Every structure is written in structure tokens, then in C-alpha cells.
């Protein structure tokens, strides 16, 4: 991870831009998988009313409900866990980036376009180390992270219960945003923005085809 970041840094002279290029590279390599994920989630959204009928029909028989749901997924050839795979594939990258940003002997504490003073600092520590005005970009980054986490899920949701879960997830991301290094937040924000754009283009293409 350190070698990759330094490779992009040699191009840009800015570790924030290096993280952005890293994120874009990762998302390009994952593009076939994430397009398939978006289409699968769109199918799940369309099938949600039928699934709700099954849940109402067998609400008093949990075992039968599970059997019918699995049969339902099999018949319609959808995988409810498809949306988790791209995130799981990105976890090693996020952990590696987190580890690199915490290395004491590696000088990655450069600013991002002179906006974020230290990419290795989380907002919680930046609050103590920096002046209030310098803390503002960290807080803005957290807000953008929360919003960009919620919007892609809202685009694919047709279930009020799932909406509530996404609100909880967004609140959890606010907590992570306070504790994770700003460089990791930058990676997550760029990845989320990419997801929003990709979902919009993929869904428009799917609607035009139908």
C-alpha cells in the first residue's frame, strides 16, 4: 500500500490526490462486479412487494417463511448478499491504508490541497492538535461521508425497515468518521461518490433497456 501511494504521489505531489487515484483504480478494477451488484439490487427492489406478501403470508411460521424466501430467491435468480461482496473486497484495502497512515516512521502527514492539514489525523485528534478553522475540513468530510453512505442505499431501497437500517448505518459512519484518519475517510468518500454515479448510470441504462 505504501509503495502504491508513493507511486501516485510521484505523479501528483499530494498524498490526498494519491489516495483519490488509488480509490479510482480500485473501483475501475471492481467495475464488472459492482455493475452486477447494482443490477442485482435493482432486481431485489422490484421483487420487494412480492417478498412482502410472502412475509405477511407466513408471518406465524418462521421456518416455512425462510424456506419460501430461499425458494423465492432461487426462482428469481437473485442473491440477497450480492451487495456485500464489493464491500468485503475493499476491506483489506481500507485496513492497509489505515495501517500506513498510522506508521510513525512514514511521513504521510501531508496536507490535501492545503485543505486538510494532516491526512493521518482523525477528527477527534485533529480537534486537539489543530486550530478550530483547520478542523472544519475534517468535519465537512465526515458530513459528506454520512450523506454519501446514505444516498446510494436510498436509491436502491424499497423497504422502510431497510431505510431505518441505513439511517443507523449512516450514524455509525459519523462515529467512524470521528475516529478514522482523514485519509481513510477520503478513500471512503470518493468510493461512495463513485458508487452514486455508477448506480445512476446503470439504473438509467436498465430503465432505457426495458
Residue 82 has a pLDDT of 60
Q: Beta partners for 112?
A: 116
Q: Is residue 76 part of a domain?
A: no
Domain limits for position 87: 2-45+81-209
Contact 171, 89 (CB under 8 A): no
Residue 121 has a pLDDT of 85
Q: Is residue 74 part of a domain?
A: no
Residue 206 has a pLDDT of 62
Look at residue 111 and tell me whether its pLDDT is greater than 80: no
Look at residue 109 and tell me whether its pLDDT is greater than 70: no
Residue 144 has a pLDDT of 93
Tell me the residue length of the chain.
Answer: 210
Look at residue 141 and tell me whether its pLDDT is greater than 80: yes
Could you give the number of structural domains in the chain? 1
Q: Is residue 63 part of a domain?
A: no
Residue 106 has a pLDDT of 54
Look at residue 70 and tell me whether its pLDDT is greater than 90: no
CA distance 193 to 205: 19
Q: What is the mean pLDDT of the chain?
A: 80
CA distance 207 to 210: 5
Amino acid at each position: 500500500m505504501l509503495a502504491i501511494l508513493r507511486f501516485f504521489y510521484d505523479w501528483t505531489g499530494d498524498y490526498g490526490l494519491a489516495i483519490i487515484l488509488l480509490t479510482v483504480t480500485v473501483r475501475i478494477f471492481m467495475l464488472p462486479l459492482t455493475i452486477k451488484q447494482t443490477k442485482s439490487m435493482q432486481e431485489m427492489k422490484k421483487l420487494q412487494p412480492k417478498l412482502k406478501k410472502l412475509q405477511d403470508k407466513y408471518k406465524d411460521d418462521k421456518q416455512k417463511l425462510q424456506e419460501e424466501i430461499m425458494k423465492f430467491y432461487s426462482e428469481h435468480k437473485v442473491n440477497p448478499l450480492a451487495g456485500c461482496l464489493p464491500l468485503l473486497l475493499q476491506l483489506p484495502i481500507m485496513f492497509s491504508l489505515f495501517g500506513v497512515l498510522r506508521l510513525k516512521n512514514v511521513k504521510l502527514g501531508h496536507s490535501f490541497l492545503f485543505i486538510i492539514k494532516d491526512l493521518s489525523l482523525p477528527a477527534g485528534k485533529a480537534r486537539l492538535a489543530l486550530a478550530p478553522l483547520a478542523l472544519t475540513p475534517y468535519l465537512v468530510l465526515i458530513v459528506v461521508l454520512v450523506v454519501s453512505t446514505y444516498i446510494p442505499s436510498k436509491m436502491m431501497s424499497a423497504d422502510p425497515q431497510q431505510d431505518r437500517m441505513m439511517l443507523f448505518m449512516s450514524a455509525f459512519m459519523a462515529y467512524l468518521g470521528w475516529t478514522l484518519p482523514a485519509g481513510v475517510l477520503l478513500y471512503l468518500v470518493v468510493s461512495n461518490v463513485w458508487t452514486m454515479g455508477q448506480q445512476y448510470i446503470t439504473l438509467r441504462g436498465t430503465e432505457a433497456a426495458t
